[in-house]
Amino acid sequence: MIFDIITIFPNFFNSFVKEALVARAIKKKIIDIRAHNLRQWTFDNHKTVDGRPYGGGAGMVLMVEPILKAVNTLRNSKFQIPNSKTGKRKSRVILFSAKGKTFNQAAARRLSKFDQLIFICGRYEGIDERVVKYVADEEVSIGDYVLFGGEVPAMTVIEAVTRLLPGAVGKQKSLDDESFNPHPSFSRKRERGKGERGMEKKMMTTFLEYPHFTRPETVVISGRKRAVPKVLLSGNHEKIETWRKKQSWSATKKRQKLLK
């Protein structure tokens, strides 16, 4: 998969592409990340990318023309690769915006099916609305708060999508049992659940992952011994699986209450 990032701060991604599993995915040619300076698509000697908002107001607004030219170039560039099955390229242009739909694991799975994702990273007061209506395919938000720009959201989406691509994570089991994935055993229970508890389970499509522990078995925190749950030391895999399911269910219900 190719990630093309349109930004006025391309150096923002210098360390990001060199560290941890993202760097390994690049080395294994699972992904390619390219940060492009929006100023290379400007039309004047000053490389102007923004202007004052029509109607007045504070701040500056990113212009539509450089962004349009950048997107058109990247969608038709030599950087793209054809889809091996259809011979066609599947690309998606994403604008990071507070007005966008909140990004989640389901969105990550959906976006992982594309061959190319083009990210438009806003800055300053905002972006010309014509980018929203006529250039971007969708608007995405990573939460109900305001950042300086779209670079951090771009990194968030890249990480979430990359780890779903074949070969990016060492063990497939890590993806099967993690948070926000449907839990097979709970799915069966939803089908035959009755009453209020059954309805509550039916409403849930994803679950949080169970707690994890490692050595040492006991540690002193604030003067008190804190031990690993005994069931995890039992060697009884059936009991361990039951415990993990209960913990997953409990964590999911707790989070739902926090979101209300």
Spatial separation of the C-alpha atoms in residues 188 and 220, rounded to whole Å: 40
What is the fold, at CATH topology level, of the domain defined by 177-259? Trp Operon Repressor; Chain A (1.10.1270)
Pair 49, 124: CB distance under 8 Å: no
Q: Any bridge partners for residue 141, and if so which?
A: 102
Q: Where are the domains of the chain?
A: 2-170, 177-259
Give φ, ψ of 207 to 5 degrees: -135, 155
pLDDT of res. 212 = 86
pTM: 0.79
- Residue 82 — pLDDT band, cuts 50, 70, 90? low
Spatial separation of the C-alpha atoms in residues 50 and 56, rounded to whole Å: 14
Mean pLDDT of the chain, nearest integer? 85
Q: Is the bond preceding 216 in cis, omega lying within 30 degrees of 0?
A: yes
The CATH code of the domain at 2-170 is 3.40.1280.10
* Other CB atoms within 10 Å distance of the CB of residue 159: 16
The single-letter DSSP state of residue 2 is E
Report whether pLDDT(158) > 90.
yes
